[in-house]
Chain A
Amino acid sequence: MNEMTVRRTVLVACAFLALAVSASAQVDLTGSYQTRMYEDYIERGPGEFMGNFTGMPLSDEGRAKGLLYTSNLPSTYERQCLPQSAGIFQYRPVGFRVWSENNADGDVVAWVIGGDNLRNDIRIYMDGRPHPSPNALHLAGGFATGTWEGDTLTAKLTHLKTAWIRRGVGIPASDDTVITLHMTRRDDLLTMVTIQEDPHYLTEPHVVSRVWQWNPRGTAFDRPQCNTANEIPSLEDTGGVPHYIPGQNPEETYMAKMFNIPQEAAMGYAYTLYPEYRKTLKGKYKPPADCVSRGPGYCCGWIETQGRPGGAPNLTCNDGGFGTLGPRGRRTTAESN
Chain B
Amino acid sequence: MARRFALVILALTLTAVTAAAQARGAQAPAAPPTPRAQAPIDLTGYWVAIISEDWRWRMITPSRGDFPSIPMTLSAQKIAEAWDPAKDESAGEACKAYGAPGLMRGPTRLNITWLDDDTLKMETDYGMQTRLFEFRTPPGNPAPSLQGRSVAQWIVAGGGRGRGGARFGAMKSVTTNLRPGYLRKNGVPYSDRTTFTEYWDMHTETNGDKYIVITNTVNDPTYLQAPWITALHFKREPDGSKWNPEPCDVRF
Contact = CB atoms under 8 A, between A and B. Distances in A.
A300 B68 contact: yes
A291 B63 contact: yes
A39 B158 contact: no
Contacts of B205: 180, 195
Contacts of A275: 48-49, 51, 107-109, 125-126, 244
Contact of B54 (A40, A149, A277, A291): A40
A209 to B, nearest CB: 4
Contacts of A314: 71, 225-226
Contacts of B240: none
A108 interface: no
Contacts of B65: 290-292, 299, 318
A315 B68 CA distance: 7
A107 B125 CA distance: 48
Interface stretch (A114-122, A182-190, A228-236): A182-190
Nearest to B217: A189
B113 interface: no
B interface residue count range (under 10 / 10 to 19 / 20 to 34 / 35 or more): 35 or more
Nearest to B159: A25
Given A25-B158, A316-B72, A39 B213 contact: no
Interface stretch (A127-135, A150-158, A239-247): A150-158
A230 B161 CA distance: 58
Interface stretch (B1-9, B89-97, B130-138, B144-152): B1-9
B141 interface: no
Interface stretch (B24-32, B74-82, B114-122, B173-181): B74-82
A150 B213 contact: no
Contacts of A315: 68-71
A210 B231 contact: yes
Interface in B204-229: 205-206, 209, 211, 213, 215, 217, 225-226, 228-229
Given A154-B203, A318-B65, 17 more contacts: A1-B4, A27-B158, A38-B230, A39-B231, A40-B69, A41-B68, A42-B68, A54-B55, A149-B166, A184-B213, A205-B209, A273-B50, A273-B55, A291-B64, A299-B68, A314-B71, A316-B72
12 contacts: A36-B229, A150-B160, A182-B201, A189-B229, A206-B52, A207-B52, A273-B51, A273-B55, A275-B49, A315-B69, A316-B73, A327-B71
